[in-house]
Amino acid sequence: MTGASELRFFPSADGDLAYRDTGSGDLVVLLHSGFVDHRVWDAHVPVLAERYRVIAPDTRGHGWSANATAPFRWADDLAALLRHLDAGPAVLVGLSMGGVIATDTVLEHPETVRAVVTSGAATGDFRYTDPWHRALQEETGRALAAGDVAAWLDAFLRLVPGPERTADDIDPELMRRLREMALHTISKHTPDEKDHLVPVTGSLDRIGDIRVPLLAVNGSLEPAGLHAAAERLAAAVPDGRTATVEGTGHYSAMERPDAYTGVLLDFLASL
């Protein structure tokens, strides 16, 4: 996997934020899921960089980016990075948490965004309602509060296969990569650390304000609630679409990177 040697750093008002920057052409920004880092996109960056400029940041508090010491919003960090680079407007591609950052940014800083792709995500107002996800969220929360990294990691990695599969159904190398990234990020934090993240509110009620093309992607094995959220998001956006990556769960981009990149390239070509 890539590491710090390929990263650049943006001196934000609250510490340095890391990002990978490669390729040339129209800008595509790849936003990773929670508790991991830019390396989620390692398989996609070289392919995309043949045609586009690709930026893959580490979200604040993740990977090699600084932890927050004051209130912040994901969307503001991303918009500040793009303005610092004098880059964009960008196609924002976000997986899980990264998808929320993408929708937050197009709502809060629309001038920085050319199009949006969400993967296994909708808006920050979305909440899991199925018992499996709710139980898993409670388990991870308890483990974090207790500082039990092993229990937290076990619960976190169960997101990968989802409720219908087990870790035995997943490529061991994918699990190893996620474990490495998650341990790297969690080691930056302490159980008593204050959460400075300020969520963007009212996003669900504003999705009709999104005036750029939007693609909502899901793995076919994700729960019905996430598929419904993707359909609702795409239906509310004037140029909204959906796509499915067959045989994958929440980490569709990592389980079948070739198929995922194909979906993404088709969308980019249509812009």
Q: Are 27 and 87 in contact (CB under 8 A)?
A: yes
Q: Is 205 exposed, middle or buried (0-12, 13-18, 19+ CB in 10 A)?
A: exposed
pLDDT in tens, 211-252: 999 999 999 999 888 888 899 999 999 999 999 999 999 999
Domain segments of the chain as ranges: 4-127+195-269, 131-186
pLDDT in tens, 180-197: 999 999 999 998 899 999
Task: Give the mean pLDDT of 160-166.
Answer: 91
Q: What is the pLDDT of residue 219?
A: 95
Q: What is the pLDDT of residue 68?
A: 97
The predicted model scores a pTM of: 0.96
Q: What is the pLDDT of residue 144?
A: 87
Query: Mean pLDDT for the chain?
Result: 93
Q: What is the pLDDT of residue 121?
A: 82
Q: What is the pLDDT of residue 51?
A: 97
Instruction: Report the distance separating Cα 108 and Cα 201, nearest Å.
Output: 11
Q: What is the pLDDT of residue 225?
A: 85
pLDDT in tens, 57-90: 999 999 999 999 999 999 999 999 999 999 989 9
Instruction: Report the distance separating Cα 160 and Cα 158, nearest Å.
Output: 5
Is CATH 3.40.50.1820 the right assignment for the domain spanning 4-127+195-269? yes
Q: Are 252 and 33 in contact (CB under 8 A)?
A: no
Q: How confident is the model at residue 1 (pLDDT cuts 50, 70, 90)?
A: low
Q: Are 84 and 10 in contact (CB under 8 A)?
A: yes
Q: How confident is the model at residue 3 (pLDDT cuts 50, 70, 90)?
A: low
